[in-house]
């Protein structure tokens, strides 16, 4: 017989796994506990969402740099062809990585939604 899983226990075990990998989850663990306990009004911090926001910001910055390099190449303002190509390839690779992370997150979300408790 398979024992029933308690979501709080599963979340705590997942957080301890992440902390053993080296991520700082002590704040996340206390935030998770306060978010799950009724009657709290504090907003939990979410380092994972901060990480995603920073990553999207970096991809956006690379896109702006690539656009500036291509525009500089087209206007003849001192940008070499190889500089423009390197900038566009950096932007392309960063976007593909962000897209792959998004696809993995969506797949994980769909898998969690499909679980039966």
Residue 70 has pLDDT above 70, yes or no: yes
More confidently predicted of 43 and 106: 106
The sign of the CA dihedral 112, 114, 115, 117 is: positive
Average pLDDT over residues 62-76: 94
Q: How far apart are CA 78 and CA 90, in angstroms?
A: 20
Confidence of residue 43 (pLDDT cuts 50, 70, 90): low
Mean pLDDT, to the nearest integer, of 23-31? 43
Relative orientation angle of helices 7-21 and 26-36, to the nearest 10 degrees:
170
Query: How much is the pTM?
Result: 0.56
Of 45 and 67, more confident:
67
Is pLDDT larger for residue 109 or for residue 46? 109
For range 52-81, the mean pLDDT = 93
Tally helices (H) and strands (E) across the chain.
4, 0
Q: Which residue has the higher pLDDT, 11 or 68?
A: 68
Q: How far is CA 18 from the centre of its chain?
A: 15
């Amino acid at each position: 017989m398979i024992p029933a899983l308690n979501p709080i226990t599963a979340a705590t075990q997942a957080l301890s796994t992440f902390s053993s990998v080296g991520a700082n989850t002590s704040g996340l663990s206390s935030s998770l506990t306060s978010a799950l306990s009724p009657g709290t009004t504090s907003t939990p911090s979410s380092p994972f969402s901060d990480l995603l926001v920073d990553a999207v910001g970096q991809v956006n910055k690379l896109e702006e740099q690539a656009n500036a390099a291509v525009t500089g190449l087209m206007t003849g303002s001192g940008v070499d062809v190889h500089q423009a190509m390197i900038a566009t390839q950096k932007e392309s690779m960063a976007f593909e990585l962000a897209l792959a992370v998004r696809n993995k997150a969506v797949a994980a979300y769909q898998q969690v939604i499909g679980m039966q408790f």
